Amino acid sequence: MSSEDLEKQSQREAYLHEANELRKKASDEDFWFLPVFGNVIRHLPDSRTRFGTSAADLARESKRSDKKFKDDPSTKYPNHSELRKNQTVEEFDSTIGQAIEELGIDKVKIQELLEIKSKYSGGPEFKKSIEAMKQLHEMLIPLYVRLREMGYEGVDIRTS
């Protein structure tokens, strides 16, 4: 293995460690994914929030879809990476979709878990929604690492 490969592997392991450390900070084990991923599910391919819209849909509806993150007056996050600051919501969503594809994360399974989340959210079987979210986010740990490798900050992933 070359020194460059060793450095990349070391960085990958550091990002995985970072995700695990964030996970430990969760106040509720059922919601361990919130400190790591925040609302990233809104940016997954073909995702919909519990209100039926994705992050890109919300940006289009509020006439912000063509604005770079740094130019959008509704975003005031100085700790974001320059990479994220210079992207629109749709560009960020596209990057996430490409990373999921490259990593071979099962998009059909993602959709199944999002459907379970929506179906049982707020109902008497809410625990099914929580279990689906935990399973989904376990699948997405490699995505967190990949996005960090690409130059995104953790805050980009959690609050975009």
pLDDT in tens, 96-151: 999 999 999 999 999 899 889 888 888 788 999 999 999 999 999 999 999 999 99
Of all residues in the chain, the percent with pLDDT exceeding 90 is 39
Q: What is the mean pLDDT of the chain?
A: 83
DSSP class per residue in 44-101: STT---TTS--HHHHHHHTT-TTS-GGG-TT---TTS-HHHHT--HHHHHHHHHHHHH
pLDDT of residue 51: 42
pLDDT of residue 50: 44
